[in-house]
Amino acid sequence: MEWGLPGPGHVTCDRAVTRRHESFPLNNCDHYFKLHPAGSAHTRITEQAVERALFSQAVQTEPGPDTLSFGAIRLLLRWDKGSIIRRIRAASHMGGYPAVWKRASGVVIRKPGKHDYTKLKAYRSISLPSCMGIVFGKITAELVAEKAVRRGLWSDRQCTSRKGQSAIDAVAMMVDRVHAAWTNGHITGMLLMDIKAAFPSVTKDRLVNLMKVRQVDRDLI
C-alpha cells in the first residue's frame, strides 16, 4: 500500500506532513510515494457543494460516535458557514481525513418478526459513521465524478455517480431491453459480477497509480 507525501518543490508545512502520517500510518511493507505538485480541487469546494452534500441527508439519521448529527451541522452551517467550508477545504488539500470523521459506531438491532431473540441470527448490525465524514466523502465523490466527466475517463455506459445515469437508469435500461427481447420471442438472462474482483483496476493501489498516470488532481488522489 502507498500513501502520498508532497513531492519535490511542493510548498507545504510540517503540519501538513505530520497530518498525513497521523491520518495514514504505515503498516508492514508500506511506503510513501511522492505525489504531483499541489492540487487545486479544494478550491472548487464551494458553499453550494457543501450544502448539496449536507442537505441530501435526512436529519433523522442517527449520528456517529461524535454525536454530531446532520441537523446540528445544518445549524453550524447557518451560524459559521465559513469555518466549516475552510475545514473541509483544508482536509481535502492536505489529504488528511480527520480521524474523528473516520470513526463509526456499530449498533446491533433486532430483525422484525423473529420468534426467538436468544439466537444470534435474530439480530443484525448496522454502522453509524460520522456525519461530517459522510458530507466530506460525498463532496469528494462529486469532485472525482466531475473530473472524470471533463477528462472523458468514463465509458459512455458508465452508470451511478453520473447525472442522468444513475443506478435506477441502469435498471430501467435493462428492463427495457428484456421487454424488447421478449417481444421478439427471445430468451434473456443477466449476469451479475463483482466488479472489484473482475477488474483489478479498481483495487486501491492500482487505482491510485492510474490516477497518478492520468495526472488527476492531487487533492482527489
The parent domain of residue 52 ranges over: 2-153+191-213
Residue 198 in any domain: the answer is yes
pLDDT of residue 130: 92
Q: How far is CA 189 from CA 65, 135, 178, 181, in A?
A: 44, 38, 8, 10
> In this model, does residue 13 exceed pLDDT 80?
no
Q: 198 or 147: whose pLDDT is higher?
A: 147
Residue 122 in any domain: the answer is yes
Question: What is the bridge-based pairing of β-strands 2-5 and 31-34?
Answer: parallel
Residue 139 in any domain: the answer is yes
- 156 Cβ contact partners less than 8 Å away, ≥ 6 residues apart: none
Q: 158 or 103: whose pLDDT is higher?
A: 103
Least confident interval from 18-22, 35-39, 45-49, 108-112: 35-39
> In this model, does residue 36 exceed pLDDT 80?
no
Q: Which residue is it, cell 465509458?
A: 155
Q: 189 or 49: whose pLDDT is higher?
A: 49
Beta bridge partners of 124: 109
| Helix (DSSP H) and strand (DSSP E) numbers for the chain | 9, 4
Residue 172 in any domain: the answer is no
Residue 180 in any domain: the answer is no
Cβ pair 122, 111 in contact under 8 A:
yes
Beta bridge partners of 163: none
| Overall number of domains in the chain | 1
Average pLDDT over residues 183-196: 81
